[in-house]
Amino acid sequence: MALQQASGGAPGLVIADRYRLDQLSGDTLRTEVWEGWDLTLARPVMVKLIHAGDIPTAGGRLGLALVVDLFDVTRHEGMAVLVFERLECWPLNQLLQQRPVLQPDEVSSWMVGVAQIVESAHHCGIPHGAITTSNILVLADGSVRLTDFRGRQTGTGDGPFDTQPDLLALCFLLHDLLLHCSRSVVSNFLWSLADPDALPQPDSVLAFRLLLEHQPEGSSLTKRKWWWPVVASGLFVVGVTALSWLLIT
C-alpha cells in the first residue's frame, strides 16, 4: 500500500494518544524517523512517519534476533506510523557521513552480518526488498541490525519467491561501500563479488555470505595475517641495528 501526505511531525507531538515524538533522528523525502517515548509502557521507541511509499511491515512477522522489532503500526493525519524498538546505533548512511573512509575488513564484516539476516529471513519465507544503507543499523560493537522489510510484492503465502532482488541489492551495497575504501587495499576478489556481471557469481544469499566469510588468501579478511608479522620483523631489525650503532659509537 502506498501513501502520499505532506504533513510531518514535531517535538512533543503525541501520536495515537500514546507515542510522543522527542527528537528527529533522520529524514528522507518520504519518511521521518523520530526518537520517541511510549507513554503507556514508559519506554523509549523509534517512530517512523511515512509520507509516501510502501509501508514496510513484513519484519513484524519474523521474530528474528537481528531484525529490529516492530512494536506497532498506526496512523496519524493520513500518514502511516511505525513504532520500533530503540537501539543505541548509527544508521549506516549517517555513519558514512561521519566516517567517509572505510577499511575492507569493516565492510566485509558488515556485509556478512546483513547477508546472515537476509538469509534467515528468506528461510522464513520473507524477502527484504529494500536493502539500503538507511535500513542498516550499526551498533557500537560493529554488529548490524536490519529494518524496513518490504516482504513479498504480492501475497503473503509460504511458497517460493524470487530471492535474486535481495542478492543483487547485496552486491550493489558491497560495491557502494567498497568505494569508500582506498582502491589499493581492496582485493580483486571483493571487487568481483561486488560486480553482478562478473563470473562466477553466487547464486544465493547463502553462497554470497560464505564467499565473504571464506575469502581467498590475500583478500581483505586475511591480509592482516601476513603483513603484521612482516612489519613486526622489520621493526625488530631496525631496532637491533639502531641499538648496535649506538653501542659502537
Q: 44: domain range?
A: 10-85
Quick count: other Cβ atoms within 10 Å of Cβ 44?
Answer: 12
* Residue 164 amino acid letter: Q
Boundary residue ending a domain (26, 58, 85)? 85
Residue 155: per-residue pLDDT: 59
Residue 72 CA: distances (Å) to CA of 45, 69, 219, 226:
10, 9, 43, 50
Q: Is the pLDDT of residue 224 over 60?
A: no
Look at 12-16, 82-86, 99-103, 156-160 and tell me which has the smallest mean pLDDT. Answer: 156-160
Q: Are residues 69 and 138 in the same domain?
A: no
Length of the chain in residues, anyone? 249
* Run of H or E residues at 113: helix 104-123
**CATH number for the domain harbouring residue 114:** 1.10.510.10
Mean pLDDT for the chain overall? 85
- State the average pLDDT over residues 29-46: 95
Which residues, 6+ apart, have CB-to-CB distance to 158 below 8 Å?
Answer: 125
Q: Are residues 70 and 100 in the same domain?
A: no
- State the average pLDDT over residues 204-214: 95
Q: What is the Cα gyration radius of the chain?
A: 23
DSSP of 70-95: EEEEEEETTEEEEEEE--SEEEHHHH
DSSP class of 53: E
Q: Are residues 215 and 93 in the same domain?
A: yes
Q: Are residues 80 and 93 in the same domain?
A: no
Does residue 3 contact residue 80 with C-beta atoms inside 8 Å?
yes
Residue 156: per-residue pLDDT: 58
Query: What whole-number distance in Å separates Cα of residue 47 and Cα of residue 9?
Result: 10
Which residues, 6+ apart, have CB-to-CB distance to 147 below 8 Å?
Answer: 56, 59, 67, 68, 84, 135, 137
Query: What whole-number distance in Å separates Cα of residue 53 and Cα of residue 116?
Result: 27
Query: What whole-number distance in Å separates Cα of residue 22 and Cα of residue 36?
Result: 5
Per DSSP, the three-state class of 79 is: strand
pLDDT per residue as tens digits for the range 59-69: 888 888 899 99
Residue 215: per-residue pLDDT: 87
Examine residue 243 and state whether it is found in any structural domain, yes or no. no
Q: How many domains does the chain have?
A: 2
Does residue 79 contact residue 47 with C-beta atoms inside 8 Å?
no
Q: Are residues 121 and 207 in the same domain?
A: yes
Residue 176: per-residue pLDDT: 97
Q: Are residues 171 and 58 in the same domain?
A: no
Look at 73-87, 149-163, 217-231 and tell me which has the smallest mean pLDDT. Answer: 217-231
Boundary residue ending a domain (24, 56, 85)? 85
Among 7-11, 154-158, 170-174, which range has the highest average pLDDT?
170-174
Per DSSP, the three-state class of 99 is: coil
Can you say whether the dihedral through the CA atoms of 186, 187, 188, 193 is positive or negative?
negative
Residue 157: per-residue pLDDT: 61
Cell (9 digits) for 83: 513504532
Q: Where does residue 17 rank: exposed (0-12), middle (13-18), buried (19+ CB within 10 A)?
A: exposed
Residue 190: per-residue pLDDT: 94
Q: Is the pLDDT of residue 223 over 50?
A: no
For residues 113 and 228, which has the higher predicted lDDT (pLDDT)? 113
Does residue 127 contact residue 152 with C-beta atoms inside 8 Å?
yes
Examine residue 2 and state whether it is found in any structural domain, yes or no. no
Q: Are residues 45 and 114 in the same domain?
A: no
Q: Are residues 104 and 210 in the same domain?
A: yes
Whole-model pTM above 0.75?
Answer: yes
Residue 1: per-residue pLDDT: 39
Q: Are residues 17 and 128 in the same domain?
A: no
Examine residue 236 and state whether it is found in any structural domain, yes or no. no
pLDDT over 70 for what percent of the chain?
A: 82
pLDDT over 90 for what percent of the chain?
A: 64
Which residues, 6+ apart, have CB-to-CB distance to 157 below 8 Å?
Answer: 125
Q: Are residues 80 and 152 in the same domain?
A: no
Examine residue 4 and state whether it is found in any structural domain, yes or no. no
**CATH number for the domain harbouring residue 38:** 3.30.200.20
